[in-house]
Structure formats: C-alpha cells, structure tokens
Amino acid sequence: MREYMHRHYTKEEEFLEEFEFSAAVVAAFLQGAWQPNPHCNDAVRRNAKLMPDVESRELVFEHGTAFHTQKAFSSALIVLRSSVRLVTVRVKWKDGKLVAEQVSDSAREKERSV
C-alpha cells in the first residue's frame, strides 16, 4: 500500500497532540531512553540546544513525520537526538496494533574546529 507524507512536525507538542499513542509506543520501545514531553515549547527546545554535551545525553524530539494511505494514518517516523546519538524509529500498524521498529541508531560525531 502506498504511503504519502501527510505532515512534518518540528514541534514535539504539536506532534503529540495528534500522535500521542505513536509516541508512547516509541517510548516503550526505547525502554526509557526518551520520554515524550507534551509541555514542550520554544523555551524548552532552546534550553535543550544550549546544554553542554555532558548534560544533553538524553534523547530529545528532533522532528516527526506522519504518513497516510489514501484512507488513513499508516505510520509515523520519529527522529530523536542527543549529543551522542541520532535515533530514528518508525511506528506502523501491524496485525491491528501499533508497533515500533528501529530505522537507525547512530553515534553522532562532535563538530571539530580546525
């Protein structure tokens, strides 16, 4: 079945308004490495970006994308980041329930100054 991008979210709170169940599936799949923050706002995002590397190892929402078929929601892709990891997880329907699958989990190299 063909999917198309329904909407791309750069704000966690907006993603959670529509896809809180998908986010809960991802949080359970990651076993506590990320917790959705429905109270996220511009100040929280700004603080997360300003934290020193030592303090920002916790995964935070980078962006999410919802995909639909012609009929309805089919999957969501959530990208999470920390100072050392970039994690992508897809949530999709399988056998009548939402399931998560890891798309990628890669170490992030720190920027180097020359």
For the stretch 59-85, pLDDT in tens is 999 999 999 999 899 999 999 998 888
Of residues 38 and 46, the one with the higher pLDDT is 38
Of residues 22 and 49, the one with the higher pLDDT is 22
- Predicted local distance difference test score (pLDDT) of residue 83: 80
Tell me the pLDDT of the chain averaged across its residues: 87
State how far Cα 52 lies from the chain centre: 21
State both tokens at 16.
């959670």
Q: State pTM to two decimals.
A: 0.84
- Predicted local distance difference test score (pLDDT) of residue 55: 54
List the one residue out of 81, 55, 56, 78 whose CA is nearest residue 67: 78
